[in-house]
């Protein structure tokens, strides 16, 4: 992760999004009860991967997220969310700049398990 904020601090998500010039970046916003709240600002395609021990929840704030699973693609618009259960192979794609929140256990490797 490129940036981390943490507990007991004001996190201005709108400012982070407005200041971001990267096409694909994740920010660890905070940890809550051994879970990470992560902000993703993405455009493009991530690789296929899975998480053996952790579920992963995606919640779109702006843009459109395509969540490819082995047999289907889920399209998430703003204010929609989806949980990918552990061990399910998936990838994320965004044809346009997309801002999302992700919630997952702090043990997760965001790039996937080998």
Which residues in the chain land under pLDDT 70? Answer: 1-4, 109-114
Q: What is the pLDDT of residue 114?
A: 58
**Distance in angstroms (rounded) separating the CA atoms of residues 110 and 68:** 16
Q: What is the pLDDT of residue 62?
A: 97
Range of the domain at 65: 3-105
Considering the entire predicted model, what is its pTM?
0.88
Determine the pLDDT at residue 6.
77
CATH code of 40's domain: 2.60.120.10
Helices in 1-114 by DSSP H: which ranges? 13-19
Number of domain units in the chain: 1
Question: Domain for residue 80, yes or no?
Answer: yes
Does a structural domain hold residue 35?
Answer: yes
pLDDT tens readout for residues 78-110? 999 999 999 999 999 999 999 999 999 887 766
pLDDT of residue 2: 44
Provide the pLDDT for residue 8.
79
Q: What is the pLDDT of residue 1?
A: 42
114 in a structural domain: no
Residue 81 φ/ψ, nearest 5 degrees: -135, 165
Nearest to 58 by CA among 92, 19, 30, 11: 92
């Amino acid at each position: 992760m490129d940036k981390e904020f943490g507990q007991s601090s004001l996190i201005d998500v709108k400012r982070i999004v407005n200041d971001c010039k990267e096409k694909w970046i994740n920010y660890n916003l905070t940890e809550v009860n051994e879970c990470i709240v992560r902000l993703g600002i993405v455009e493009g395609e991530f690789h296929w991967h899975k998480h053996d021990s952790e579920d992963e929840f995606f919640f779109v704030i702006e843009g459109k997220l395509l969540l490819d699973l082995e047999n289907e693609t889920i399209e998430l618009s703003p204010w929609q969310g989806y949980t990918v259960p552990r061990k399910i192979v998936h990838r994320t794609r965004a044809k346009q700049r997309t801002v999302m929140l992700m919630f997952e256990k702090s043990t997760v490797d965001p790039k996937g398990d080998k």
